Amino acid sequence: MREFNQAFVQALDREDKERAVQLVMELLEAGDVGVVQLYSEVLAPALNDWECR
């Protein structure tokens, strides 16, 4: 999950929406996490730490 978090944050930093969505969809489709876990452990923390430019 740590590698996913890093890749997701990189996509956010680059403002690469396609890559960010692709990463999330791959994780969900693989069944590695559910929506609630994805939101609480990945999306919310990443978005809370993200700085808009």
* pLDDT tens per residue across span 1-51: 888 999 999 999 999 999 999 999 999 999 989 999 999 998 899 888 877
**Which residues are CB-contacts of 5 (< 8 A; sequence separation ≥ 6)?**
42, 46
Alpha-carbon gap, residue 27 to 31, rounded angstroms:
7
Q: What is the pTM of this model?
A: 0.81
Predicted local confidence at residue 53, as pLDDT: 65
For the cut 80, the answer to whether the pLDDT of residue 52 exceeds it is: no
Predicted local confidence at residue 17, as pLDDT: 95
Domain segments of the chain as ranges: 2-49
Predicted local confidence at residue 50, as pLDDT: 75
Alpha-carbon gap, residue 1 to 46, rounded angstroms:
13
Predicted local confidence at residue 39, as pLDDT: 93
Q: Give whole-number Cα distances, 7 to 4, 41, in Å.
A: 5, 14
